Amino acid sequence: MKKAAILGATGLVGQRFVSLLADHPWFEITLLQSSGKSAGKRYGESVKWVLDSQLPDKVADLPVEPLDLASIAREGVDIVFSALPAEVSVDVELELARRGLVVVSNASPMRMEPDIPLLLPEVNADHVEVLELQRRRRGWSGGIVKVPNCTTSILTLSLKPLLDEFGLRRVVASSMQAISGAGLTGLPSMLIMDNLIPFIEGEEEKVEEETLKLLGSVGGEGVTLNNSFAVTASCHRVMVLEGHTIAVFAELEKRSIDVEEVIKAMEEFKGNKIKGLNLPSQPEKPLVVKREPDRPQPRLDREAGKGMSIVVGRVRPDKVMGGVKYVVLGHNTIRGAAGNGVLIAELLVKKGLV
């Protein structure tokens, strides 16, 4: 059992990490820290638990410490899961890596740095080798591995089979994102009730850039962005609790493709990069295709593969774009954040990097 610390444990992504790691066969939660006001109390008392699943008792009794890097080292922690707020995360994560700890981080800073692996295992598990380059370059024995932006992960898992089979040129993505993506207190109800917000700060840039890194390649300097296609996004917040939906319009390299070939390519996508590794969080079918005309829908499909599968529907020809258009949904706090983080950690363990 590897000892795990969760930083930012009381936030929404932190709660997801807690929920997923509480009874994990490989990890044991030994330390919870928060940069907020919760520090000092028992987790059960300080967290405003909002997940459907019950707060596990043994975790409820753990104390929530304030951020304290020395404590993390002292506890003999093997791996750190960071769900810290962006502005706090950088210094903390760099210092942890210097102190020899491996950090799997959901925070957005540093995701685009070439020597920091940005992982979506089914798609680019091989990028994990960049960790070695990182260690040499930065001179530390620890490491920082980043979890991609939620919308990006969901989009990229759906694009991978298309890129591999048909090539991509232009991809237009219009998202309808759940309120959980704004965090526990990030979105006042007065702003979203009977409304939608057509702007999520920084989101479109992340989708447009991180997708190119996830589908990029590893070179001497680290990861090089994929330059064979480009993404343009428009991201919006809607009144859904969990589950991001994206309308995708993809221009393909290959022309004159039967839409059935596209559906087949998506149905057969098995996430070969980690197939056979049998990681505990790995979904049997990372991509599920629905043929019903009105799917996917967040409330009905977000739990597919225990929240780790993306669900694609409405795959149909797009003559205007020269390719296909479809709708893809994924659980934003599991597949899009903490679940992916845990899968990454499992990959690191399997590869002997933790």
CA 351 – CA 330 distance, rounded (Å):
27
C-beta of 291: minimal distance to its own copies in Å?
12
Quickly count: other Cβ atoms within 10 Å of residue 105's Cβ: 28
177-205 in b/e form (b: 16+ CB < 10 A) is: bbbbbbebeebeeeebeeeebeebeebbe
Count of beta carbons in the 10 Å neighbourhood of residue 324: 24
Do 333 and 242 contact (CB within 8 A), yes or no? yes
Tell me, rounded to whole angstroms, the distance of Cα 270 from its chain centroid.
18
Task: Establish whether 24 is a catalytic residue.
Answer: no
Please state, in angstroms and rounded to a whole number, the distance separating the CA atoms of residues 33 and 323. Answer: 47
Strand partners of residue 6? 32, 81
Active-site residue identified among 127, 150, 235, 331: 150
Q: Shortest Cβ distance from residue 170 to its own copies (Å)?
A: 5
Q: Which of 24, 127, 236, 244 is catalytic?
A: 244
CB closer to its own copies, 76 vs 198: 198
Please give the structure tokens belonging to residue 350.
């399997």
Nearer to its own copies, 140 or 229 (CB): 229
Least distance to its own copies, CB of residue 171, Å: 8
The rounded distance, in Å, linking the Cα atoms of 6 and 10 is 9
C-beta closer to its own copies: residue 182 or 259:
182
Nearer to its own copies, 135 or 306 (CB): 306
Q: How far is CA 180 from CA 52, 162, 187, in A?
A: 13, 29, 9
The distance of closest approach from Cβ of residue 200 to its own copies in the complex, given in angstroms and rounded to an integer, is 9
Minimum distance of its own copies from residue 177's CB (angstroms): 11
Smallest gap, in angstroms, from Cβ of residue 318 to its own copies? 5
Binding site for its own copies (CB under 8 A): 12, 48-50, 52, 170-172, 174, 176, 179-180, 182-199, 201, 230-232, 234, 236, 238-241, 245, 247, 249, 293-300, 303, 313-314, 318-321, 325, 327
Question: Whole-angstrom Cα distance, residue 276 to residue 236?
Answer: 37
Active site residue 244: yes
Range 257-262, long-range pairs (CB < 8 A, 24+ positions): 257/166, 257/323, 257/324, 259/315, 259/316, 259/317, 259/324, 261/165, 262/162, 262/165, 262/166, 262/315, 262/324
Known catalytic residues are 150, 244
